[in-house]
Chain A
């Protein structure tokens, strides 16, 4: 399968713990996006990379969140000192193109539950 892959699919953690999610985009895609989606809402943009450069971070991305894409391939999203409000689905997407055309290809998401 050559689609966008996310791991783990589900993560349950206790408040205060750190968690890390991984995203493997489609191999030739140079743009990678992270979104957060809470139940019943639309996905909210968190950050994006062009190759290894992180070019934009949303205000939603507090200091406890960090994302990397070290070699312009896979990306990780780390949440430190998790809070119950961090419980959400974290979606990764990749695209080959910039601009207005060309869809983003999404992974199946990583669902985080913070107890």
Chain B
């Protein structure tokens, strides 16, 4: 069975600083996809970044980068130059190879301080 673990219920970061949100995963599949989504208080799930298990390089999307350590089964999200609008809940997720469904972690609430 696939499992995602996010051990940080809440994080604070000063505006303009970088922050790392932790994610570890467990799967027996050799092929998997890892995702990060942002959920503001309004409720919509916003896709941020994707990393495939066979990708050689860590994924980057603007201020978001994914620190993928396959041997440690971790896929941490790094947000650089935090902005007030980054305050939200962040979810790490793994996509099931056969069904395509996403399996989510418990989430981390990020608050950016001015």
**Chain A interfacial positions (CB closer than 8 Å to B):** 31, 33, 40-45, 48, 55-56, 89, 91, 93, 95, 97-109, 111
Q: A43-B91, A100-B32, A103-B50 are in contact. Are A33 and B101 (CB under 8 A)?
A: yes
Contact status B43-A45, CB under 8 Å: no
Interface centre among A40, A45, A100 (most CB of B within 10 A): A100
Closest Cβ neighbor of B95 among chain A residues: A100
Contact status A45-B102, CB under 8 Å: yes
**17 A/B residue pairs, CB under 8 Å, sorted by A:** A40-B107, A42-B4, A43-B45, A43-B91, A89-B43, A93-B102, A95-B100, A97-B100, A98-B100, A99-B33, A100-B53, A101-B52, A103-B47, A105-B47, A107-B44, A108-B44, A111-B43
CA distance A40 to B108 in the complex (A): 9
Closest Cβ neighbor of A101 among chain B residues: B33
Whether B7 is near chain A, meaning CB under 8 Å from some CB there, is no
Contact status A42-B107, CB under 8 Å: yes
Task: List A contacts of B91 (CB < 8 A).
Answer: 42-43
CA distance A42 to B52 in the complex (A): 21
CA distance A107 to B44 in the complex (A): 6
CA distance A103 to B53 in the complex (A): 15
Contact status B97-A108, CB under 8 Å: no
